[in-house]
């Protein structure tokens, strides 16, 4: 997955909390309770990131998750229909997310975790299908991975030394 060097301080980032879990560490004196927050941030204009924050209090875990997500932004190649440029399958662990290009007016057809990522990336028309694991963290990371791997036709044409018209339908 290509991590971009996007300066998040110049962008207006929106965030959504995907999940909050209570985790426990058993120690000699009893149990230590902590919270983990999986947070997705995006500017709605082709940049999206995900972060995991851990703390003893929920608001602190969410804040840490936002900071982590802002450090891990990826760029998404969008086309003129506010969709992705081509179909792709993102993978992370045993989770796979099929991302399908859609025409204008389709909307976002996606499950919960993948929907949040697509909305915050600024995608308006896409169809997705989560395959394999339904673990929220792995589904979000698989979606981010898939979106980060997308390429625009101009980039592929330049790499192969061909004309852009050969790649567009």
The greatest distance separating any two alpha carbons of the chain, rounded to the nearest whole angstrom, comes to 68
Helices (H), the chain: 58-71, 112-121, 136-149, 153-160
Q: How confident is the model at residue 7 (pLDDT cuts 50, 70, 90)?
A: low
pTM score, two decimals? 0.88
| 55 and 61 Cβ atoms separated by less than 8 Å | yes
Q: Which domain holds residue 152?
A: 76-166
Distance (Å, whole) CA 136 – CA 114: 9
Q: What is the pLDDT of residues 9-42, one digit of tens each?
A: 667 889 999 999 999 999 999 999 999 999 999 9
Q: What is the pLDDT of residues 122-145, one digit of tens each?
A: 999 999 999 999 999 999 999 999
Assign residue 58 the CATH number of its domain.
3.30.160.20
Q: What is the pLDDT of residues 65-78, one digit of tens each?
A: 999 999 999 999 88
2 is a domain residue: no
- What is the count of structural domains for the chain? 2
């Amino acid at each position: 997955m290509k991590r971009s060097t996007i300066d998040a301080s110049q962008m207006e980032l929106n965030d959504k909390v995907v999940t909050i879990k209570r985790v426990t560490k058993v120690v000699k004196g009893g149990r230590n309770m902590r919270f983990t927050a999986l947070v997705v941030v995006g500017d709605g204009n082709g940049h999206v990131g995900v972060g995991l924050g851990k703390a003893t209090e929920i608001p602190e875990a969410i804040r840490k998750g936002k900071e982590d997500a802002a450090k891990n932004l990826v760029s998404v190649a969008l086309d003129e229909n506010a969709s992705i440029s081509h179909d792709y399958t993102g993978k992370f662990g045993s989770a796979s997310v099929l991302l399908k290009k859609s025409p204008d007016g389709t909307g976002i057809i996606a499950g919960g975790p993948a929907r949040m990522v697509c909305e915050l990336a600024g995608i308006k028309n896409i169809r997705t299908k989560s395959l394999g694991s339904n673990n929220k963290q792995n589904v979000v990371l698989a979606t981010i991975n898939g979106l980060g791997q997308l390429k625009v036709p101009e980039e592929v044409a330049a790499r192969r030394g061909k004309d852009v018209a050969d790649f567009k339908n």
